[in-house]
A and B are shown apart, each in its own frame.
Chain A
């Protein structure tokens, strides 16, 4: 109910005969005795007292204990409706939370899987630096008699033994690396190598070492060609040389 805030109400004073609250009888008031004044004062004090009492009760909110049953029923109805709404909201939010959690988890999984694959492919193609246990091989060719096939054999043997990343001199070995040239003037991917040739390989050091020194293996071949070979195992081989990312010109990925 919108109560007007400052509308002159019905004016009983303007219409004599209208009963106003203390019915104003048009007669000079008799001089009041002290007794009636005391009564008036007591009534006013009672009003103030009751006002404070009621305000306190309303503020403390314990009016429910004494409210009427039908009021209580209405309040209860409202509260139950509100509870239903809130419960529905809770359900919706829980669903949303579950959905977001699962999608977040799956997208995080997909992301980490993609990162793992990118790292593996980067090491395989030589586009990212790599570090790990492995061997350091120095092939010395004082007379310039070691042919490029020997280095190629060395790389192949290391690959067979589970080597994962290789660097010869300052060149990272990739999927399309090629040794060319001739004895004493070996070229790797168009870059001329200088003796002594340093080969870094990451893999299981004992396995790689064993693979190089098997009978009729790389070590023998180097010796027959008039060179020497030293193999050093290391727990921390760092391969810093990287290759440019290879963009295939003709090959297109197909599904299936």
Chain B
């Protein structure tokens, strides 16, 4: 298992998915513009964490801080854009930047797994 001690995180992710599937909660309206952005930001943090795990430099504290900061900053940028009337464009920009980072991390993970 590549994750070694990181399996618990994967299990927690699965648990979260199952809980979401079972409970079918509704999203409060004020949150709905920021939820997709927050998810993408969190995904970016998780990919970064996985990559750090492969590099043997994973630090749960760094992960925690970067996860929360990522989500909050991304949501705040979109919120600011909404207030300025450029919410759509800014959320697009945030998604693009985060997407590029996710891609970079995914490429690094791929090199670790496939040695290519």
Contact = CB atoms under 8 A, between A and B. Distances in A.
Interface of A: 1, 3-4, 7-13, 20-27, 29-30, 32, 36-37, 39-54, 56-58, 63, 65-68, 70-71
Contacts of B16: 44-52
Interface in B58-112: 58-64, 66-68, 70, 82, 85, 87-88, 96, 99-101, 103-108, 111
B100 A47 contact: no
Query: By CB atoms of chain A within 10 A, which of B56, B68, B100, B104 has the most?
Result: B104
Interface of B: 8-21, 24-25, 27, 29, 32-33, 35-36, 38-39, 42-49, 51-52, 55-64, 66-68, 70, 82, 85, 87-88, 96, 99-101, 103-108, 111
A53 B109 CA distance: 27
Contacts of B59: 22, 25, 29-30, 32
A53 B8 CA distance: 22
Contact of A49 (B17, B62, B64, B103): B17
A20 B48 contact: yes
Chain A binding surface SS class: helix
A100 B88 CA distance: 49
Given A9-B100, A21-B105, A22-B49, A43 B64 contact: yes
Contact of B63 (A3, A40, A65): A40
Contact of B61 (A4, A36, A49): A36
A37 B8 contact: yes
19 contacts: A4-B103, A7-B103, A11-B104, A25-B57, A25-B62, A26-B57, A29-B59, A36-B60, A36-B61, A40-B8, A43-B63, A44-B12, A44-B16, A47-B42, A48-B14, A48-B15, A50-B38, A56-B24, A58-B36
B38 to A, nearest CB: 7
A68 B82 contact: yes
Contacts of B63: 22, 40, 43
Contacts of B108: 11-13
A9 B106 contact: yes
Contacts of A11: 104, 107-108
A43 B21 CA distance: 17
5 pairs of A and B residues whose beta carbons are closest in the complex: A48-B16, A21-B48, A52-B20, A9-B104, A45-B16
B70 A45 contact: no
A156 to B, nearest CB: 98
B46 A44 contact: yes
Give the interface centre of A23, A37, A53 by most chain B CB atoms within 10 Å.
A53
B25 A39 contact: no
Contacts of B100: 9-10
Contacts of A29: 56-59
A70 B90 CA distance: 13
Given A8-B107, A44-B16, A50 B96 contact: no
A49 B38 CA distance: 12
A43 B66 CA distance: 11
A45 B39 contact: no
Contact of B21 (A7, A12, A52): A52
